[in-house]
Homo-oligomer: A and B are copies of this chain.
Amino acid sequence: MSDPDNLETGIRLSPNFDANGLITAIVSEAGTGEPLMVAYMNQEALSLSLQTGEAHFYSRSRQEIWHKGATSGNVLTITQMRIDCDQDAIWVEATLSGHGAACHTGRKSCFYRRITNNGKLELTGDSPMFDPKVVYG
């Protein structure tokens, strides 16, 4: 039998928070698998996400808990959460609500630019689904 406390094979949740108390969280859309955004959670954000079923992060710029969608209405409803082998990254699978956009620019995904082989960017054509100026004021 494997050790339930083993970091990589066990069943004990033991997030490896960094020096700032944060863990990387990647968010993808349930169903499509499309990557939506990358953010960070502290212990409180992780606990709130588990308790409420809605994604909470820690905003490094505002230095506070960030209930995603509280302002914009674009809440991320969690369908499942997973943690990786060495427990230093969390994957949040979620459905979009509100405008159907996860990015603060109004687009569905934050990953709306492709990196070309010559090191430039090209827009994928994803258009904003809301006007940030109106939504965020």
Seen from chain A, the residues whose Cβ lies within 8 Å of a Cβ on chain B are 8-13, 24, 26, 28, 32-35, 37-38, 47, 50, 80-86, 88-91, 103-105, 107, 110-115, 117, 119-124
Question: Which chain B residues border A104 with CB–CB below 8 Å?
Answer: 85
Question: Which chain B residues border A37 with CB–CB below 8 Å?
Answer: 84
Q: Beyond A13-B119, A33-B35, list 11 extra A-B contacts (CB 8 Å).
A: A9-B105, A11-B121, A26-B26, A32-B33, A38-B84, A81-B114, A82-B111, A84-B111, A85-B103, A85-B105, A91-B111
Q: Is the CB of A13 within 8 A of B110?
A: no
If the complex has contacts A33-B34, A91-B35, are A114 and B11 also in contact, measured as CB distance less than 8 A?
no
Q: Complex: how many Å from CA A50 to CA B79?
A: 33
Question: Which chain B residues border A13 with CB–CB below 8 Å?
Answer: 115, 119-121
Question: Which chain B residues border A83 with CB–CB below 8 Å?
Answer: 111, 113, 115, 121
Q: Is the CB of B28 within 8 A of A117?
A: no
Chain B proximity of A62: nearest CB distance (Å): 14
Nearest CB to that of A25 among chain B residues? B38
If the complex has contacts A84-B111, A121-B13, are A38 and B26 also in contact, measured as CB distance less than 8 A?
yes
Question: Which chain B residues border A112 with CB–CB below 8 Å?
Answer: 82, 85
